[in-house]
A and B are shown apart, each in its own frame.
Chain A
Amino acid sequence: MDYRIKNPTIPDQSTGNGVMALDAQLRAKGAEGWGYSFADDTLAVIGPPDMDLSQFGVVEDG
């Protein structure tokens, strides 16, 4: 299932440590993969149904 969060509250993605920190947070929620777009300031997450991603922002679809 795909989830999308605009203007997410996430670790700074300008560093590799920030990428891995976000990955750890998302995997702990059950994410199977994810991507962050700088231009759109959007986080896309792939994972099982009913993931609780509220700590990152408002899920627009999923």
Chain B
Amino acid sequence: MARSPNCTGAPLFKGRVDVTISYPDPDCEKFDDNPLALPSSEPTDAQVSYTVASKHMPVWSHELNHVKTAVLYAAGRNNSASSAKVYYRVLKNGANVATGSGNSIPAGYLYSGSFPLFFDVQSGDVLSCKLWAEGFDLRRTGVYVYPTRIKAGTPIVADFSLEWNAQGFMYGEQTAGMFSYWACCPSISNTPIAEYYNAFAKWLARYSHPQWGLISTWVGDQDKGATISASGATTYHAFQSPRITRISYTPLNLRV
């Protein structure tokens, strides 16, 4: 066994960690044939509301220390004769999180709203969104929970590899090809580790940052910006982080 030069005879390497993460089917509601008209002023009750439950949670083969974040989705159509925008109010457990409005949506276009505003969600949290606009409807809603700030038990690891699935999934086939803001990023930077359509990355060694861990996602963690934008005539967007599906590394018994 190799020995650490800065330790007192303890083994340099610990046992290999190899963890898989699987995800439930997206919790997505589609009511294209019976859309809900949006009111022209703020409604009393949220039209989009999900209670985070175990059915939303990623399943780990061996759970590493991490934080869960969530994105709420809402999409529909501008049925008016002119371009207009949608206003929103996002709430967590009934408390205000954010307000705003997105890009102007051309007449006849679908719009897609993504609200990655729920860092550190827990089972039982109620995530909701109110929408209002002139001449718009609501056709699809959804929620997606995923891990970020995944940490190793030691500050330094070797032979770190990461696998992920970057395919859009929230709205099924209508999401494909136009879906996503990507992102896995280095621990303390928002520089992409690879293009989102790659599915594998490897490092000789990696630092498990006290805050950001081995790996943290962009959407829903470092980027908590809501978006509502036009998405075409038949396709919806769902800005999402790629789903990390496997993490493996060898912990190093080094002090830093």
- Give me the interface of A with B, judged by CB distance under 8 Å: 13-20, 22-23, 32-39, 44
Contact = CB atoms under 8 A, between A and B. Distances in A.
Contacts of B183: none
A19 B89 contact: yes
Given A19-B100, A35-B98, A36-B98, 4 more contacts: A20-B87, A33-B102, A35-B99, A37-B117
Interface string B175-200: 00000000000000000000000000
Contacts, number: 54
Contacts of B41: 16-17
Interface residues of B, number: 23
B225 A44 contact: yes
A19 B97 contact: no
Closest 3 CB pairs of A and B: A16-B42, A35-B100, A38-B96
Interface string B150-186: 0000000000000000000000000000000000000
Contacts of B117: 37
A32 B99 contact: no
B228 interface: yes
20 contacts: A16-B41, A16-B89, A18-B99, A19-B42, A19-B87, A19-B100, A20-B87, A22-B99, A33-B101, A33-B227, A33-B229, A34-B101, A35-B98, A35-B100, A36-B98, A36-B99, A37-B98, A37-B117, A38-B95, A39-B97
Given A23-B85, A32-B104, A33-B227, A38 B42 contact: no
Q: Which of B42, B100, B132, B226 has the most CB of A within 10 A?
A: B100
A21 B34 CA distance: 31
A37 B96 CA distance: 9
Contacts of B227: 33
Given A16-B89, A16-B132, A32-B103, A37 B97 contact: yes
B16 interface: no
Nearest to A26: B101
Nearest to B228: A33
Nearest to B43: A16
Contacts of A19: 42, 87, 89, 99-101
